[in-house]
């Protein structure tokens, strides 16, 4: 599994609520399950920086190892509400493998768009 975050993320309401989502990528035969955690931040153009965090539920490998989408609700931590515009995400996937734990990490610029 080489998880990613989609370039476009969609606000779900006028209060800045949304989920972050992306594909897991194909799973290797020794990968059994994973959890993706992330931090998202957005410059408020003088109003401060919006910061949020999130974590998926346990993601389990499909029998055929096929990829699927993951999603997790953003919990707003500080700064102004998230709005349409540029943001960035730092994410980590903690992976349970038959030979022991593994981890993937990545950084991606995203665009938050209105519903």
**Where in the chain are the domains?**
8-113
| pTM beyond 0.85 | yes
pLDDT band at 18 (very low <50, low <70, confident <90, very high): confident
The vertex-54 CA angle with 46 and 105, nearest 5°, equals 95
User: Are 34 and 3 spatial neighbours (Cβ–Cβ below 8 Å)?
Assistant: yes
Residue pLDDT, tens place only, 73-110: 999 999 998 989 999 999 999 999 999 999 999 999 99
Q: How far apart are CA 76 and CA 109, in angstroms?
A: 18
How many residues does this entry show for the chain? Answer: 115
Longest Cα–Cα distance of the chain, Å, equals 49
pLDDT of 19 strictly over 70: yes
Q: Which CATH number fits domain 8-113: 2.20.25, 1.10.10, 2.60.200, 2.60.40?
A: 2.60.40
As a whole number of angstroms, the distance between CA 82 and CA 33 comes to 30
């Amino acid at each position: 599994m080489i998880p990613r975050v989609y370039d476009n993320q969609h606000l779900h309401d006028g209060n800045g609520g949304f989920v972050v989502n992306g594909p897991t990528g194909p799973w290797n035969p020794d990968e059994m399950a994973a959890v993706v955690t992330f931090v998202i931040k957005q410059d408020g153009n003088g109003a401060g920086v919006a910061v949020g965090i999130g974590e998926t539920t346990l993601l389990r490998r499909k029998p055929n190892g096929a990829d699927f989408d993951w999603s997790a609700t953003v919990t707003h931590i500080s700064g102004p509400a998230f709005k349409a515009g540029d943001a960035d995400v730092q994410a980590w996937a903690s992976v349970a493998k038959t030979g022991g734990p593994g981890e993937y990490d990545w950084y991606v610029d995203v665009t938050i768009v209105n519903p």
